[in-house]
Amino acid sequence: MLEQINALLEEAKSKINTCQDLKTLNDIRVEFLGKQGKVTNLLHTMKDIDKEERPKFGQLVNSARNEIEELLKNLQISLNERAIEQKMASEKVDISEPSKIVEKGEIHPLHKVFDKLIDACVAMGFTVLTGPEVEYDYYNFEALNVPKDHPARDMQDTFFITDNILMRSQTSSVQVRAMETMKPPFKIVSPGRTYRADSDATHSPVFHQFEGLVVDENVSLVDLKSMLTQLLKMLFGENTKIRFRPSYFPFTEPSVEVDATCPSCGGKGCRLCKNTGYMELLGAGMVNPKVLEMSGIDSNKYSGFAFGPGVDRLAMVVNKIPDLRMMFENDMKFLEQLK
Ligand code: DAH
């Protein structure tokens, strides 16, 4: 009897000693302690034992049972610990490993200038409008006081698609669209892409303009001068001198050309400004009353000013880039210098 119990205990111990996983552990528990388990079955044999031996037998089986239970409990704890250790080892991060270099994108130098212009103008109360790049001749020329066959069309080498449809050669087209749809007073700016059959160090067939238009009562050239001075100083620095020269555009009267002291030499004269000390930046003027009238605005009541810098040119000047085409070549070595 005693031997039988000991043999069972030894069998259980040896199985527990070699057990490596929770499933086997559970099988052992069922095998010995389950309802049909070997130890449990031993208790069922109690009735076949002599009466006086029964308590002793019961005690021995129970203590074997408790021992097996204890061993299984300890085994379970150590198997759980081992599982956690293994999981941690498999998820270990080597913090000494050199990290991968993540390439970070940057805003293109041209768009940085756009962003600055837009931010400044929005702060001054302008609304941002955009217009189509494939445009009607009417909006690009006719409504801006440049009728068909007018010699002023020669100022812009335009890509025509049909007789009446073209790739817009200037964002001034958006002025007309604004005047047709908005009621004065209003102030709009329009950033966008423009197209001309031009290509050299300072011209690209695709380029960018930033049109501005203010229409209100009593708008004068003084408003134009002070607003543009403020905008250009924001872009080039407080110490920049701004110069206005008389010019000609069919849609403005009077018209001006606006220059700023060269950011490279500060006005002394250098290669970048061809020794003039100044950089030519943009055209502007008081909106020709005829242009206001054509879009249905009463020119006796309202006046306006407009301006239209080439943004590529501004970005060239800001970044002292000698050739405009470099801005579109996407040469990373070049662009990284302008971060
Ligand atoms: N659109 C003109 C050009 O491309 C620039 C310009 C001049 C725009 C005078 C204006 C303006 O709004 O008033 O040459």
User: Looking at the domain assignment, is residue 169 inside a domain?
Assistant: yes
Here the CATH number for the domain that contains residue 170 is 3.30.930.10
Domain boundary among 31, 61, 91: 91
Q: How much is the pLDDT for 288? A: 98
User: Looking at the domain assignment, is residue 104 inside a domain?
Assistant: no
- Protein residue whose Cα sits closest to atom 7 of ligand 1: 283
Beta strands in the chain (DSSP E): 127-128, 134-136, 165-167, 186-195, 206-216, 242-249, 252-261, 278-287, 303-309
Q: Does residue 306 line the site of ligand 1, with CB under 6 A?
A: yes
- Protein residue whose Cα sits closest to atom 12 of ligand 1: 307
* Shared domain check, 122 and 65: no
Q: How much is the pLDDT for 338? A: 84
Domain boundary among 91, 123, 157: 91
Q: Does residue 144 line the site of ligand 1, with CB under 6 A?
A: no
Domain with 235 in it? 109-336
* Shared domain check, 157 and 47: no
User: Is pTM beyond 0.75 here?
Assistant: no
Distance 302 CA to ligand 1 centre (A): 20
Distance 131 CA to ligand 1 centre (A): 16
User: Looking at the domain assignment, is residue 98 inside a domain?
Assistant: no
Q: How much is the pLDDT for 45? A: 84
- Protein residue whose Cα sits closest to atom 3 of ligand 1: 170
User: Looking at the domain assignment, is residue 76 inside a domain?
Assistant: yes
Beta strands in 28-157 (DSSP E): 127-128, 134-136
Q: Does residue 173 line the site of ligand 1, with CB under 6 A?
A: no
* Shared domain check, 274 and 163: yes
Q: Does residue 172 line the site of ligand 1, with CB under 6 A?
A: yes
Distance 339 CA to ligand 1 centre (A): 30
* Shared domain check, 128 and 169: yes
Q: Does residue 285 line the site of ligand 1, with CB under 6 A?
A: yes
pLDDT-derived band at 105 (thresholds 50, 70, 90) equals: confident
* Shared domain check, 28 and 114: no
* Shared domain check, 176 and 73: no
Instruction: Give one DSSP letter per residue of 223-285, joined into a string.
Output: HHHHHHHHHHHHHH-TT--EEEEEEEETTEEEEEEEEEE-TTTTTS--TTTTTSSEEEEEEEE
Q: How many CB atoms lie within 10 A of CB 111?
A: 15
Q: How much is the pLDDT for 200? A: 84
Which residue out of 145, 170, 282 has the highest number of ligand 1 atoms within 8 Å of its CB and is therefore the one to mutate?
Answer: 170
* Shared domain check, 114 and 70: no
pLDDT-derived band at 284 (thresholds 50, 70, 90) equals: very high
Strand-pairing partners, residue 229, are: none
User: Looking at the domain assignment, is residue 96 inside a domain?
Assistant: no
Residues ≥6 apart with Cβ < 8 Å to 303: 215, 216, 217, 218, 219, 220, 286, 287, 289, 292
- Give 307-339 pLDDT, tens digit per residue: 999 999 999 888 888 888 888 888 989 888 887
* Shared domain check, 262 and 142: yes
Domain boundary among 91, 118, 151: 91
* Shared domain check, 161 and 261: yes
First to last CA, the chain: 90
* Shared domain check, 320 and 198: yes
- Give 141-196 pLDDT, tens digit per residue: 999 999 998 998 988 999 999 999 999 999 999 999 999 999 999 999 999 999 99
User: Looking at the domain assignment, is residue 262 inside a domain?
Assistant: yes
User: Looking at the domain assignment, is residue 99 inside a domain?
Assistant: no
Which atom of ligand 1 is least distant from the CA of 155?
14
Distance 252 CA to ligand 1 centre (A): 8
* Shared domain check, 63 and 143: no
What's the mean per-residue pLDDT of the chain? 92
Which atom of ligand 1 is least distant from the CA of 171?
1
Q: Does residue 192 line the site of ligand 1, with CB under 6 A?
A: no
Tell me the CA distances in angstroms from 244 to 117, 227, 270, 301, 320, one per residue in order: 19, 13, 21, 26, 22
Distance 187 CA to ligand 1 centre (A): 16
List phi, psi (to 5°) of 307.
-150, 155
* Shared domain check, 220 and 143: yes
Q: Does residue 250 line the site of ligand 1, with CB under 6 A?
A: no
Structure tokens at 132: 């189509």
Q: How many helices (H) and strands (E) does the chain have?
A: 11, 9
- Protein residue whose Cα sits closest to atom 11 of ligand 1: 284
Number of domains in the chain: 2
Does position 289 have pLDDT exceeding 90, yes or no?
A: yes
User: Looking at the domain assignment, is residue 219 inside a domain?
Assistant: yes
Which atom of ligand 1 is least distant from the CA of 212?
12
